[in-house]
Amino acid sequence: MKAFYVSLKPFLNHGALKRPTLWGTVFANDHPLEVEIGFGNGEYLAALSRADPQINFVGFEQYCERIHRTLRKLSRTGLDNVRVLRLDARAGFERYLAPKTVSRVHCLYPPPWPKKSDIKHRLFTGDFLKLVNSRLVDGGVLKIVTDHHPYIDWVKENIQDTGFSVESKNIPANYGTKFEKKWVEGGQSEFYELLLTKHQHIPVEVKEDSTLQSYLIDHFNPDNFGFSDHSQEGVAVSFKEILYDPKKKTALVHVIACDGPLAQNIRIVIVHSPKGWRVNLAEGTMLMPTMAVSQALECVYLAAKNSASDKQPLG
Ligand SMILES: C[S@@+](CC[C@H](N)C(=O)[O-])C[C@H]1O[C@@H](n2cnc3c(N)ncnc32)[C@H](O)[C@@H]1O
């Protein structure tokens, strides 16, 4: 059987990392730090790390399979100057990077969300640009490359008050990444590069973790469990499903917890114990302890409590 990775060392479990992370301690040196957002299959990240072993690189990517492929590529470089996290870049910048610590940020081909109705999903909003600015050192640079020209115009529209000056140019295919190759094969020969240089510091604080409480209730009826979507002050919780094992007297509740654009799929257990029914996060749930997760626990607790009464599930 083909091994997925030669070494797992570059992959970090973000749940176990100090926030903000002391990257000098992780890499055991004080080399400059650069970040790649959405590194995909890792072609560019591996090339960057090979080109400059005196720089430390951190990559944020959401898809496991792409991380697997990247780990294989990184093991071929034999270098120790890259770490990758399976994490939304928004959470990565908010919590894992201290202000003024990153010298350069790279992002090749962020999802363009070309439909007008989907523009809200794009990454480089004014708020995210301010966050990236705050983590860059003075004079630090954010490079964005896209195949979709309207994306460049959209980022330029968001640039006001973000502390960046901007330059853009048309470029040929330069990077040989999976997505770039796909577009080249489809006939595209021109791509677009934006260089944003930090000229003014915009302070954005490191987000604190929320305390995640566990709850205890006397009675619980899984057949009567449910709650409708809850949203308040930028935090939203949506109930997906409940699975109940009567032999183990354990329910597993799937919930989506959103802090603004940061969405997390989480699992909460309701398990019988000698003292009553405990409501807490399922073991092994790899998540950011955010306000939305704390709110999700409270919603599940209230719905579980309500399930034992004759009332309808909480609305
Ligand atoms: C179009 S692909 C480009 C991948 C790679 N850079 C390349 O050129 O082949 C966009 C990548 O960004 C990742 N991505 C999108 N939004 C992200 C976010 N908020 N945080 C981290 N990664 C993200 C996706 O998972 C995907 O792998």
Evaluate whether residue 232 is within a structural domain.
Answer: yes
Residue 35 belongs to a domain with what CATH number?
3.40.50.150
Mutate to test the pocket of ligand 1, among 39, 69, 94, 188 (most ligand atoms within 8 A of CB): 39
Q: 100: left (phi > 0), else alpha (psi -120 to 50), else beta?
A: left
Evaluate whether residue 205 is within a structural domain.
Answer: no
Close Cβ partners of 111 (under 8 Å, ≥ 6 residues apart): 38, 121, 122, 123
Which of 145, 167, 198 is the C-terminal boundary of a domain? 198
Evaluate whether residue 270 is within a structural domain.
Answer: yes
Distance 203 CA to ligand 1 centre (A): 26
Distance 306 CA to ligand 1 centre (A): 41
Q: What radius of gyration, in Å, describes the C-alpha atoms of the chain?
A: 22
Evaluate whether residue 208 is within a structural domain.
Answer: no
Indicate if ligand 1 lies below 6 Å from the C-beta of 178: yes
Total domains, the chain = 2
Is there a single domain that holds both residue 170 and residue 41?
A: yes
Indicate if ligand 1 lies below 6 Å from the C-beta of 93: no
Distance 114 CA to ligand 1 centre (A): 15
| Residue pointed to by tokens 């000056």 | 165
Is there a single domain that holds both residue 188 and residue 229?
A: no
Evaluate whether residue 176 is within a structural domain.
Answer: yes
Indicate if ligand 1 lies below 6 Å from the C-beta of 88: yes
Q: Could you read off the pLDDT tens digit of each residue along the chain, which spans 315 residues? A: 566 667 788 999 888 899 999 999 999 999 999 999 999 999 999 999 999 999 999 999 999 999 999 999 998 888 899 999 999 999 999 999 999 999 999 999 999 999 999 998 999 999 999 999 999 999 999 999 999 999 999 999 999 999 999 999 999 999 999 999 999 999 999 999 999 999 999 999 999 889 999 999 999 999 999 999 999 989 999 999 999 999 999 999 999 999 988 899 999 999 999 999 999 999 877 778 899 999 999 999 999 999 988 555 444
Strands (E), the chain: 11-12, 33-37, 56-61, 82-86, 102-108, 136-146, 164-171, 191-198, 215-217, 230-232, 235-245, 250-259, 262-273, 276-281
Evaluate whether residue 109 is within a structural domain.
Answer: yes
What's the CA gap between 171 and 162, in Å, rounded?
Answer: 25
The residue whose CA has the least distance to atom 13 of ligand 1 is 38
Longest CA–CA span in the chain (Å) reads 67
Indicate if ligand 1 lies below 6 Å from the C-beta of 177: yes
Sign of CA dihedral 154, 155, 160, 162: positive
Distance 47 CA to ligand 1 centre (A): 17
Give residue 314's pLDDT. 45
Is there a single domain that holds both residue 221 and residue 125?
A: no
Token pair listed for 39: 């590194």
Is there a single domain that holds both residue 271 and residue 165?
A: no
For 205, 216, 304, the CA distances from 208, given in Å and listed in that order, are 9, 26, 28
Instruction: Provide the residue range defining the domain that includes 284.
Output: 215-307
SS3 at position 271? strand
Is there a single domain that holds both residue 159 and residue 22?
A: yes
Close Cβ partners of 190 (under 8 Å, ≥ 6 residues apart): 170, 171, 172
Is there a single domain that holds both residue 145 and residue 279?
A: no
Q: Which atom of ligand 1 is nearest to the CA of 180?
A: 8
Close Cβ partners of 238 (under 8 Å, ≥ 6 residues apart): 229, 230, 255, 256, 258
Is there a single domain that holds both residue 54 and residue 140?
A: yes
Q: Which atom of ligand 1 is nearest to the CA of 63?
A: 25
Is there a single domain that holds both residue 193 and residue 233?
A: no
Evaluate whether residue 128 is within a structural domain.
Answer: yes
Is there a single domain that holds both residue 155 and residue 77?
A: yes
What's the CA gap between 88 and 178, in Å, rounded?
Answer: 20
Is there a single domain that holds both residue 245 and residue 175?
A: no
Distance 52 CA to ligand 1 centre (A): 22
Indicate if ligand 1 lies below 6 Å from the C-beta of 10: no
Indicate the burial class of 173 (C-beta count within 10 angstroms; 0-12, 13-18, 19 or more). Answer: middle
Indicate if ligand 1 lies below 6 Å from the C-beta of 154: no
Give residue 2's pLDDT. 60
Is there a single domain that holds both residue 227 and residue 180?
A: no
Evaluate whether residue 25 is within a structural domain.
Answer: yes
Is there a single domain that holds both residue 146 and residue 286?
A: no
Which of 145, 164, 198 is the C-terminal boundary of a domain? 198
Asked if residues 165 and 142 have their Cβ atoms less than 8 Å apart, the reply is no
Indicate if ligand 1 lies below 6 Å from the C-beta of 92: no
Q: How far apart are the first and last CA of the chain?
A: 50
Quote the pTM value.
Answer: 0.89
Note the Cα 194 to chain centre separation in Å: 22
| DSSP 8-state secondary structure symbol assigned to residue 227 | B
Q: Which atom of ligand 1 is nearest to the CA of 60?
A: 21
Which of 146, 172, 198 is the C-terminal boundary of a domain? 198
Asked if residues 73 and 46 have their Cβ atoms less than 8 Å apart, the reply is yes
SS3 at position 62? coil
Asked if residues 81 and 57 have their Cβ atoms less than 8 Å apart, the reply is yes
Q: Which atom of ligand 1 is nearest to the CA of 90?
A: 19
